[in-house]
């Protein structure tokens, strides 16, 4: 009987210790969540959310809306020998990279080149030209700029959604902290790099 009481007392003490440990961990998690969602850390994160949301909006408009189109002289382009794409000709057109398939490029009609710019950033977006398919058929070919936000859609936009979704669905969880850190050390610097390459 005495052993049974000692065992019950030991179980009760162990339960109390476990309960106190859980309460301490919950209190520490709550304090950490309150610390990262207030003050300077939260202000920095809100800046990242606003910046990435603005870039998301602008880049989506850039992809779906065309800006002005300009006719190009034959001297406005050159073959870029620094790049090798199989079955593609890599062109440098006003400093922008286009990579049409050889079949389309070799059959193009001279003096039919046009470049279309994006509406906001005014960077080269599309290269278009006439292709002689046979003796009687001519078709217009449109080539989107290679290695740019125009060919990275929708992956780039999905990446930019991470900070916004993290902000909207914030809650005290490991997922929130992981997404917040990813936004700060991956998405934000990655967005700055993409903007640099999109403009220059």
pLDDT for 82-112, tens place per residue?
A: 877 788 889 999 989 999 988 888 888 888 9
CA distance linking residue 66 with residue 51, whole number of Å: 23
pLDDT for 4-44, tens place per residue?
A: 667 777 777 778 888 877 877 777 777 777 877 788 989 99
CA distance linking residue 70 with residue 75, whole number of Å: 14
Q: What's the pTM?
A: 0.77
């Amino acid at each position: 009987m005495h052993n049974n009481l000692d065992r019950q007392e030991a179980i009760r003490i162990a339960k109390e210790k476990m309960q106190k440990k859980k309460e301490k961990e919950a209190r520490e998690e709550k304090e950490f969540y309150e610390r990262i969602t207030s003050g300077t850390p939260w202000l920095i994160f809100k800046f990242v959310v606003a910046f990435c949301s603005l870039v998301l909006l602008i880049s989506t408009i850039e992809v779906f809306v065309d800006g002005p189109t300009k006719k190009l002289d034959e001297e406005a382009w050159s073959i870029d020998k620094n790049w090798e794409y199989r079955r593609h000709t890599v062109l440098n057109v006003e400093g922008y990279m286009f990579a049409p398939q050889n079949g389309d490029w070799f059959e193009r009609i001279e003096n039919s080149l046009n470049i279309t710019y994006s509406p906001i950033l005014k960077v080269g977006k599309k290269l278009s030209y006439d292709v002689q398919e046979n003796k009687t058929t001519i078709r217009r070919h449109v080539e989107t700029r290679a290695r740019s936000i125009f060919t990275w859609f929708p992956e780039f936009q999905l990446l930019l959604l991470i900070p916004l979704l993290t902000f909207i669905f914030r809650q005290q969880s490991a997922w929130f902290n992981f997404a917040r850190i990813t936004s700060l050390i991956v998405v934000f610097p990655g967005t700055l790099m993409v903007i640099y390459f999109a403009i220059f």
